[in-house]
Amino acid sequence: MNPQNDNMVTIKQNEETFDVFYDNEKAGFMAYKRKDDFLEIIHTEVSEEFGGKGLGKELVAAAVEFAKNNNLRIIAYCPFAKKIIMKTPEFKAFLEQ
């Protein structure tokens, strides 16, 4: 059994961040701004102790889902978020280039 599957990952959206929790402990966040028809991803950060668990990608996925549900285009100022979006075909369609 993969121990990672036993851990619960949740994302909470706030006014300017998506926060990721791993087993109810805050593990990281993504800072964003919503302007007109755009979701601007400013910064993504996951604490070192939670690295390698795919939590950064979970944050990007949450932002893309939010953009999709609100008919927004994404401007990724964050290099990590931009890289994940560019590598994921279903995310790439939302990126403003």
DSSP, res 66: H
Rg of the chain in Å (alpha carbons): 13
pLDDT per residue as tens digits for the range 5-63: 457 999 999 999 999 999 999 999 999 999 999 999 999 999 999 999 999 999 999 99
What pLDDT, on a 0 to 100 scale, did the predictor assign at position 77?
98
Express each pLDDT in 51-90 by its tens digit: 999 999 999 999 999 999 999 999 999 999 999 999 999 9
**Coil/strand/helix, residue 74:** strand
Tell me the domains of the chain and their CATH numbers: 3-92 (3.40.630.30)
Distance CA 49, CA 43 (A): 18
